[in-house]
Amino acid sequence: MSSTGPTQGHDHEPQGSGVHGHSRHEMVAHDAHGQHEAQGTQTGHGGHDHSHMVAEFKRRFWVSLLLTLPVLLLSPMIQHALGLGASWRFPGDTYVLAILASVIYFYGGWPFLQGLRDEIRNRAPGMMTLIGVAITAAYIYSLATVLGLAGDDFFWELVTLIDIMLLGHWIEMRSVMGAGAALEKLAALIPDTAHLLETNGTTRDIAVGALKGGEQLLVKPGERVPADGVIIKGQTSADESMLTGESQPVAKQKGDPVIGGAINGEGAVVIEVRHTGSDSFLSGVIKLVQDAQASKSRTQDIANRAALWLTVVALSVSGLTLVWWAFLAPAGLAFAMERAVTVLVISCPMHLGLLCRWSWRSPRRLPPPTGC
């Protein structure tokens, strides 16, 4: 058969015969989705939960950010820094400030409060413990200043800390969703059907999922290669950029291997199938990506240990600060509490919160992150 083989007859299987339903494309996609769901089960969420959590953190971030603007404008320290003086003050402004900050604390800070509770319950203090304690201490102390305790409130520091941490969670979950979408795109590279070359020289369409290896397939110009194989007749070029990153089409002739999912160029070729299913190049790439998602990097392990020690040190120093200024060098309880809360707030490492990859373990609707 010559390379002009596309002109030969085709005995098509009727649509709806179940060919599409058992295509290798769907088998690869199902396998990738199944492994992703199994991976999600171990971490307390599946693909659907990922998309829900992305939307949840996005909503919490934007709502909190919008409410942060009036909090900043009503904060005396920000007004002084902007040179606004008393022109922006009005009767009851501190109560409005407290109400807005309360909404951000309970709504935007809820994931961190859940994380604090779970880390204490699991006896594994980490980043969520530090953040949860810091925002709670800042909130309670600031509320006390509104109700008459001497000192300056921490409302603007509280809300901006919550905003930054929510942004970190949103970025993290978007990256997880991006990796999942990449796997789906890889699985979509495999066509549903292939042109099987019969012994009498004719071709018929079969489901790619039915290929076992050793079959001879006709690949027309512009079509995707149905499976990994070797060219046994004809010559062409193949666009493998989506699989290998090669920017230019690769020349192919008799005896050259071809990768399932690559785009055939200008010539029709006949290939002999060599690898199918989990043995294929594409399945190997998908497995590598999934293994990379499931494993922890050395940087992540270091961040986990850093979060633990930072939490212990920050809580200890804050406690010592309170004891020192309240009892050893008496300066008043209000002064001591203000200094202790200051230590907690400034010890929250926002960069670590943005860079850490949290492990999600809770099966609840909005699972809290545990550790870094």
Please give the class, per CATH, of domain 5-36+191-282: mainly beta
Please state the φ and ψ torsions of residue 241, each to the nearest 5 degrees.
Answer: -60, -35
What's the rounded Cα separation, in Å, for the pair 100 and 70? 8
Contacts of 335 (CB under 8 A, 6+ apart): 151, 325
On whether the CB atoms of residues 311 and 127 are closer than 8 A, the answer is yes
In the structure, how many helices (H) and strands (E) does the chain have?
12, 11
What's the rounded Cα separation, in Å, for the pair 318 and 335? 13
Residue the block writes with tokens 């060599």: 274
Q: What is the mean pLDDT of the chain?
A: 77
pTM score above 0.85: no
The per-residue pLDDT for range 89-121, each reduced to its tens digit, is 788 889 999 999 999 999 999 999 998 999 889
Quote the longest CA-to-CA distance of the chain: 100
Helix 155-187 to helix 281-294 angle, to the nearest 10 degrees? Answer: 160
Per-residue confidence (pLDDT) for residue 350, from 0 to 100: 53
What's the rounded Cα separation, in Å, for the pair 11 and 112? 62
245: left (phi over 0), alpha (psi -120 to 50) or beta: left
Task: Decide if pLDDT at 88 tops 60.
Answer: yes
Q: Which of 155, 130, 132, 131 is nearest to 142 (CA)?
A: 155
- Section 225-232 average pLDDT: 92
SS3 content of the chain, % helix, strand, coil (to 5): 60, 10, 30
Contacts of 115 (CB under 8 A, 6+ apart): 127, 128, 129, 131, 132, 368, 369, 370
What's the rounded Cα separation, in Å, for the pair 323 and 344? 14
- Section 19-39 average pLDDT: 40
Q: Given pLDDT bands bounded at 50, 70 and 90, which one contains residue 299? A: low
Q: Tokens at residue 219, please?
A: 């690949």
Q: Given pLDDT bands bounded at 50, 70 and 90, which one contains residue 297? A: low
What's the rounded Cα separation, in Å, for the pair 183 and 37? 13
- Section 48-59 average pLDDT: 77
On whether the CB atoms of residues 334 and 147 are closer than 8 A, the answer is no
On whether the CB atoms of residues 208 and 190 are closer than 8 A, the answer is yes
Candidate from 18-32, 234-248, 315-329 with smallest mean pLDDT: 18-32
Per-residue confidence (pLDDT) for residue 20, from 0 to 100: 37
Per-residue confidence (pLDDT) for residue 153, from 0 to 100: 86
Residue the block writes with tokens 């120093």: 317
Q: Given pLDDT bands bounded at 50, 70 and 90, which one contains residue 348? A: confident
Name residue 231's beta-bridge partners. Answer: 271
On whether the CB atoms of residues 266 and 221 are closer than 8 A, the answer is yes
- DSSP string covering 250-313: EEE-TT-EE-TTPEE-SS-EEEEEEE-GGGSHHHHHHHHHHHHHHSPPHHHHHHHHHHHHHHHH
Q: Which helix (H) or strand (E) holds 29?
A: helix 24-43
Contacts of 345 (CB under 8 A, 6+ apart): 134, 137, 138, 154, 157, 158, 161
Please list the residue range(s) of the chain that carry CATH number 2.70.150.10.
Answer: 5-36+191-282
Structure-model confidence comparison of residues 270 and 28, the more confident one: 270
On whether the CB atoms of residues 161 and 350 are closer than 8 A, the answer is yes
